[in-house]
Each structure stands twice: as structure tokens, then as C-alpha cells.
Homo-oligomer: A and B are copies of this chain.
Amino acid sequence: MNDDVQLDAIDRSILNELQRDGRLPNQDLAQRVHLSPSACLRRVKRLEESGVIDRYVALLNPKAVGKQGTSYTIINLERMTTAALAAFEEAVLASPDILDCFYVAGSNDYLIRFAYKDAEDLERFHTYVLMQLPEVARSNSMLVLRTIKRSTAFEL
């Protein structure tokens, strides 16, 4: 995982295409970036092996798999001891509906993204956060009401 791979204009074109469509056939990709299939594949393999391309995933429609919505919650811990952080993070990793968790700078401490099936599920999460997670002092939940923009792709 070298973080300093040099990318030229063609590499960036390849990455832009694959960020949009991870299953674009190599032959189509080659055509779009004006290379022969073999030259194109060599570049893609190099991008995969150097870790520029981390992985390929299928993105699901949340509603179609029974997820009504998403919420973001900011959580303050009571005590910031090493043991308290470790216990909190272990609990977060064990909860499958917590999609993301970041330790953030600022007055607040953790930011969690959570996908819920219904109102009951959301309430269960709140109870869990406030009661079951160790050392939680305050939490501030933000329900996503509307998505203006959502992207997995970086601008290159």
C-alpha cells in the first residue's frame, strides 16, 4: 500500500470510470481511455496491486433491503481514559447496524452513522447508545430527512 503512486491523466480517467462503474468491462474501459485492452488491463492491475483501488463493492438500494433511513449521532464520552475508549469502540464494532464510526476533533468525540429499519429500530438504537454503550455522557442525533448529494467517488 504505497501512498505515493504517480498517476497520469490516463490513470485518472480509468479511476473516474471505475468509481462510477466498478464492473465496466475492460474492453469498454480501454476504449473510453483510448488504450488497447491489454495496456488498459495492465494499468488497472497496477492500480489494484499498489492499493490505489482498494476494492470493488455492490451498493444496494437501502429501501429495497428494508432500511427506511439513516441517522448521524454525535456522542460525548464521560471519561476519556484508554479503557473507556477501548470498551466503547468494541461495543460499536459489535453492533452491525452502526455503519460508520469516527473519532473526531472538536468539542465532540464520536460521530456514528446508523441505518434503521423503522421508528422502533431507531428508538432501540438510541436506548442502546445511551444505556448500553459504556461511558456515554451526551448524544445528539441528526436524522437524515433529505439527501442533497451522496458520493463514494473522489474528484481526480
Q: Min CB distance, A34 to chain B, in Å?
A: 20
Residues from chain B with a CB closer than 8 A to the CB of A58 are 15, 18-19, 22, 53-56
- Establish whether residues B3 and A63, one from each chain, have CB atoms under 8 Å apart when the complex forms: yes
Residues from chain B with a CB closer than 8 A to the CB of A50 are 64
A61-105 CB contact bits vs B (8 Å, 1 = yes)? Answer: 111110100101010000000000000010011001111111111
Residues from chain B with a CB closer than 8 A to the CB of A70 are 102
Residues from chain B with a CB closer than 8 A to the CB of A156 are 65
Contact of A155 among B55, B96, B148 (CB under 8 A): B96
Residues from chain B with a CB closer than 8 A to the CB of A101 are 147-149
Binds B, one of A35-43, A124-132, A136-144: A136-144
